[in-house]
Structure 1
């Protein structure tokens, strides 16, 4: 089968599109015929080690510890291990493989059943593959770290990327009044996603507008934490999900101190996939409360181009990888 192999840190040109042996599932695994995958900022960081913490937190110090990248997948189960109880051959599934070996940038991949849920019938494989990591990250940031409640004023900074597009929709599904922050070219998209208000950051700095929010969800963005704190209500919460390493570290290091001092909570999200949370997202998809925004599609052998596009930082929603070659 064809697969993508990563043997060194660096630009996408170092990736290999090659033939490897088709995997065999262990007793607690399923074998998936992959129909589509998608890429995330997580994949970019693992490829380039642009955040040095990648090397220190198990990615491998000198080279990638796991040479088989790819987390988000959607496909059909071809076979199951003898201990698998939730799925059977022929089931259409999707999931995030980052806790069970990755390897989704391939025609076939093995995964533990706990990483997967059944694909909703009302979406296709590409839409399903675009969903797991980004949607669950948005859910964790809004619900678990942000303690979102109906009627709250919630601001999503970075509302046009993979996580941000899901965050706008998920916040609306919780009954919040949502303000989306994005660039000029993404204003209309944010409105279509359901944002009640849209701020074009090229024209307005929301941290200086005088408006305050119960929850600020930063899927992207820079600037001092103090600026975001200024835009919070007295008991507001600022959740850093993405952005520059310096912003994430400031939130992690200074967050607890600033929270105790002011009463406003500042935190950096750490998210791990859970099957029950992906099942929750599945329900939102089935009820049409959310839908994945797909910017571009690339065949598997063009994944270097896809990652370069992601690395430029201008993707609108998700980038999907289809199997086969162009």
Structure 2
């Protein structure tokens, strides 16, 4: 099968399209014929081995998993022993933070997948797993958002952010979204009640109080969280120095602030699939790439100006 291999850490240029052996199906896993992938900031962080402490998980000097990629959507090709929820031929989507998805086939534990609902396409579902799970768990598991509460979402036009706006509205919250002025109309189309353009208004002086502040962009300070929120969730960060500063102040402060990495699980993926099927959320695709252009797709999202998601196709869908 064809797969994008990396033998060392580095930029998109380290990805090489090669012929490799098809994965052997393990117990409790399914083998999926991949029809679409999506690109995430996590992909280029893992690709570059940054931040450095992440290498204790992904490989200290070289990547443990040579095949890159997290998000996928495709069709079940084989099922392993003890698999109970999937059958050959079913359309599925899922996520593997350890990699392996940028290939014609991926072997994945069944707990990291869910069935694609009828009427929803492979590209849309390929764009959902990592970004959708992060937004969902930020709002529900860690943000404890309740109907009628107010939420401020910083970084509302990107992959995670555009799902967060839609999910917060689906959960009955009043949403204020922070984005650039060029994305105001886009964010409003997602359901945002109010929009703050960071290139017009200084968000570090924004003084409105919200029940929850969700920082996807990763540039809010600890003082920003305290000033604007009753509680906060931090998903991303702009620099290691910024992250350490916020987490250090959190350790000695009393403000309820959570920093987390999304946990892939079939329960949450099913919830997202139902919301997609009901039309309460949608994947907004900024740009399509052919599978041969996966390195270019990673480079594209590294510029951090993506509106919604970037999807890569393994055939013409």
- Is the TM value for this pair above 0.5? yes
Q: Distance in 1 between matches of 2:27 and 2:234?
A: 39
* Preserved contact between residue 221 and residue 246 of structure 2 (Cα < 8 Å): no
Q: Distance in 2 between matches of 1:80 and 1:41?
A: 30
* Preserved contact between residue 301 and residue 324 of structure 1 (Cα < 8 Å): no
Q: Distance in 2 between matches of 1:257 and 1:305?
A: 42
Q: Distance in 2 between matches of 1:125 and 1:223?
A: 35
Match for 2:244 among 218, 241, 249? Answer: 249
Q: Distance in 2 between matches of 1:295 and 1:173?
A: 22
Number of positions where the alignment pairs a residue of Structure 1 with one of Structure 2:
315
* Preserved contact between residue 9 and residue 62 of structure 2 (Cα < 8 Å): yes
Equivalent residue for 2:65?
Answer: 66
Q: Distance in 1 between matches of 2:270 and 2:187?
A: 25
TM-score w.r.t. the length of structure 1 is 0.93
Match for 1:129 among 123, 126, 130? Answer: 126
1:1-326 maps to which residues of 2 (within 5 A)?
1-56=1-56, 58-98=57-97, 102-232=99-229, 236-244=230-238, 245-259=240-254, 264-323=255-314
Q: Distance in 1 between matches of 2:218 and 2:31?
A: 39
Q: Distance in 1 between matches of 2:213 and 2:40?
A: 22
- SS of the residue corresponding to residue 281 of structure 1 reads helix
Q: Distance in 2 between matches of 1:91 and 1:7?
A: 33
- SS of the residue corresponding to residue 314 of structure 1 reads coil
Deviations 1:11-43 (A, max 9, x none): 111111011112221232211111101111111
* Preserved contact between residue 225 and residue 231 of structure 2 (Cα < 8 Å): no
Deviations 1:224-267 (A, max 9, x none): 211231112xxx111110122333333333224222xxxx3122
Q: Distance in 2 between matches of 1:270 and 1:23?
A: 27
Q: CA shift at 1:145, angstroms?
A: 1.3
Q: CA shift at 1:8, angstroms?
A: 0.7
5+ long unaligned stretches in structure 1: none
- SS of the residue corresponding to residue 76 of structure 2 reads strand
Structure 1 residues 272 and 279: alpha-carbon distance in aligned structure 2, compared to 1, 3 A threshold: same
Deviations 1:62-86 (A, max 9, x none): 1112111111110011111232111
5+ long unaligned stretches in structure 2: none
Q: Distance in 1 between matches of 2:10 and 2:174?
A: 41
Q: Distance in 2 between matches of 1:270 and 1:22?
A: 30
User: Which segment drifts farther, 198-207 or 182-191?
Assistant: 198-207
RMSD of aligned C-alpha atoms?
1.5
Structure 1 residues 223 and 114: alpha-carbon distance in aligned structure 2, compared to 1, 3 A threshold: closer
* Preserved contact between residue 207 and residue 230 of structure 1 (Cα < 8 Å): no
Q: Distance in 2 between matches of 1:199 and 1:59?
A: 37
- SS of the residue corresponding to residue 198 of structure 1 reads strand
Q: Distance in 2 between matches of 1:277 and 1:175?
A: 18
- SS of the residue corresponding to residue 304 of structure 2 reads coil
* Preserved contact between residue 256 and residue 266 of structure 1 (Cα < 8 Å): no
Q: Distance in 1 between matches of 2:243 and 2:263?
A: 17
Q: CA shift at 1:223, angstroms?
A: 4.4
Q: CA shift at 1:283, angstroms?
A: 1.4
Q: Distance in 1 between matches of 2:100 and 2:315?
A: 16
TM-score w.r.t. the length of structure 2 is 0.95
